[in-house]
Structure 1
Amino acid sequence: MDITQFSVEEILDPTNIIEGKRYEFILDVEIDEEDELYHEAGIEIRVLLGEKDGESFILNYFIIEKAENEYLDFALEDEELATILTFCQEALTKK
């Protein structure tokens, strides 16, 4: 899995109920053709990232098939989640 493009937006909490910060990442990913996640039109992963006390963590993620804009019912492997978390942390430090 290679992340080819991304966008990030901070999710603001006007009520101040949520502690820390929240971000939404949209990751455009390239998947090997032999992977079960592979779709010809491509997929993107929507990641909700939390940040509190200097630590970042994935709150939730959604895998979306781009052609039909449908959610796919797959779970990412721990290694893939670690790669995504590292990518998101690096993107926030460059911001």
Structure 2
Amino acid sequence: MFTITGYSVELVKDPFGILSGKRYEFILDIEVEEDDELYSEQGLYVRVIYGVDGDQASIVKHEIFERTTEQLLDFELEDDELEAVKAFCDEHVGEA
């Protein structure tokens, strides 16, 4: 598991109106314990595309990056981590 230490959120513009609902991009700074396989001394962040369509909201896509190198890591978040990220996004989506 990880701890979210900082974040930013912004509305993703859809100039052609192709997507239903709205999409938001969250950048979540995370701190991971050293014994976790995801741990990196460089620091990590998760880029989340979060979709809201009416009363339905979900994580459309997520990617994990190493902070200093901007390298995309080939890891997926576990189910409990995804639930925590979704709850965080639910709480902060109104700030975009």
Into which bin does the TM-score normalised by the smaller protein fall? Answer: over 0.9
Which runs of 5 or more residues in structure 2 are unaligned?
Answer: none
In the superposition, the TM-score normalised over structure 2's length comes to 0.94
Q: Match of 1:53?
A: 54
Aligned residues: 94
Aligned identity (percent) is 45
Supply the distance in 2 between the matched residues of 1:12 and 1:54 (Cα, whole angstroms).
20
3-state DSSP of counterpart to 1:3: strand
C-alpha displacement of 1:41: 1.7
**Are 2:92 and 1:85 aligned?**
no
Q: Match of 2:13?
A: 12
Q: Match of 2:30?
A: 29
Supply the distance in 2 between the matched residues of 1:60 and 1:92 (Cα, whole angstroms).
15
3-state DSSP of counterpart to 2:82: helix
Supply the distance in 2 between the matched residues of 1:75 and 1:25 (Cα, whole angstroms).
16
Q: Match of 1:39?
A: 40
C-alpha displacement of 1:62: 0.7
Pairwise CA RMSD of aligned residues? Answer: 0.8
C-alpha displacement of 1:43: 0.3
C-alpha displacement of 1:69: 1.1
**Are 2:75 and 1:63 aligned?**
no
Superposed structure 1 runs of 4+ greater than 3 Å apart? none
3-state DSSP of counterpart to 2:16: coil
C-alpha displacement of 1:92: 1.6
C-alpha displacement of 1:67: 2.0
For the Cα contact (< 8 Å) 2:24–2:93, is it kept in 1? no
